[in-house]
Amino acid sequence: MTLDIHKIRADFPVLDQQVNGSSLIYFDNAATTQKPKSVIDALSHYYASDNANIHRGLHALAERATNAYELTRTKIKEFINAPSSDQIILTAGTTGSINLVAQTFGRANFSKGDKILISNLEHHSNIVPWQMIAEEKGAIIEVIPVDERGVLDLAAFRNLLDASVKLVAVNHVSNAIGTINPIAEMIQLAHAHGAKVMIDGAQSIAHLDIDVQALDIDFFAFSAHKLFGPTGVGVLYGKRELLESMPPYQGGGEMIKEVSFEGTTYNELPYKFEAGTPNIADVIALSAAIDYVNALSKEALFTQELALLAYATEQLITISGLRIIGTAPDKIAVISFVIDGIHPQDLGVLLDKFGIAIRTGHHCVQPLMKRFGLPGTCRASFAFYNTFEEIDLFVKALRRSINMLQ
């Protein structure tokens, strides 16, 4: 499928603006993706026409809102090939999904001396929740190392696996350096030792085809805002037997069947884990985001992004003193880099003066930055709506910024 990038860019209103007198160049897609007009319209339509609470009302607005909300759950199920829509738990984000697993599966299954394996590539949201439950239960966290390219050491991973490992929690793709991890092989190895696997899919959901059944994933989490959808919505997929065995995470309305002062009977999946009034409008808008990606073909989008990655890499390595951090052979369109003698934050500030949005800092992966001996990096991350011309302007502005700072 050939993409009409000019037409696609017209679908994203935010891209058509001036920042500091220059046309916006948005290269911060790993932090959050921009939203097509169809997603914005879906949000507006809900509040203008269907605003009502879901599941509880019998009037027309409540029924329309409920149907639209549950349709999103069905579309998510199809998007990741889950066996059933009731295995799709709607949360506030990837962080919320990981915390749910830590506080429910972890609390029910971890004991003193049990091991949790994470990797040196993890975002803080896939580190801290496991540290919290490990401290509470007396479990032990061990870390899968990465090499100088930012590639996980699979030999070390195999050596860490034994009968004491209860969970392997790793990201599918590194948010900081773009490494694509070999999760199919890692899941197979973990299962051979009786461990369950939690995959943080925040950075892979918009780029790679996800089939949770083919991969045999136990838990998979992602955020809507990384998939051209709204903020404040996340997804947790889990195998049915695991979700049914886990206690509720929060108490309140919706997650119950019957309440008395003598006791409470909990609801069935997925509502057992969805207490209170949810983020209705943004969940409904996620449906439009999924429709948008499906209409364009994720394979075509990823091909475009890889072409941008290759071109940007080719241009950046010609800059004296620039060093790319993360050179894995398999990666998404993310380039982290440093410039000799220049602080990343200074570059970020100057590039903004040219209307160019990149991310600087530790990218919520302080242990990974420590592994590379860096306080942080500059990160340019591309989406299919970015262009080669934008990369040319970025490289030109980067050279000017370096000259100003040296």
Query: For the chain, how are helix, strand and coil distributed in percent, rounded to 5?
Result: 45, 20, 35
Question: How far, rounded to the nearest angstrom, does the alpha carbon of residue 383 sit from its chain's CA centroid?
Answer: 14
Q: Are 173 and 181 in contact (CB under 8 A)?
A: yes
CA atoms within 13 A on the CB side of 348: 19
Nearest to 240 by CA among 267, 265, 268, 264: 268
Show Cβ contacts of residue 260 under 8 Å, excluding neighbours closer than 6 positions.
none
Nearest to 380 by CA among 333, 344, 339, 343: 333
Quick one: DSSP state of residue 114?
-
Paired tokens of 21: 């007198």
Name the phi and psi angles at 89, rounded to 5. -100, 130
Radius of gyration of the chain (CA): 22
Nearest to 98 by CA among 205, 223, 262, 268: 223
Paired tokens of 227: 């998939």
Could you tell me the CA-to-CA distances from 304 to 40, 309, 338 in Å, in that order? 24, 9, 25
Instruction: Report the C-alpha gap between 327 and 337 in whole angstroms.
Output: 10
Instruction: Report the C-alpha gap between 131 and 153 in whole angstroms.
Output: 22
Which of 102, 364, 368, 402 is catalytic? The answer is 364
Rounded to 5°, angle at Cα 11 from 223 and 97: 5
Q: Are 59 and 50 in contact (CB under 8 A)?
A: no
Nearest to 168 by CA among 160, 177, 176: 160
Residue 364: active-site member? yes
Paired tokens of 230: 């709204």
Instruction: Report the C-alpha gap between 168 and 199 in whole angstroms.
Output: 8
Instruction: Report the C-alpha gap between 19 and 353 in whole angstroms.
Output: 8
The region that residue 235 occupies, defined by phi over 0 for left and psi between -120 and 50 for alpha, beta otherwise, is beta
Catalytic residue set: 364
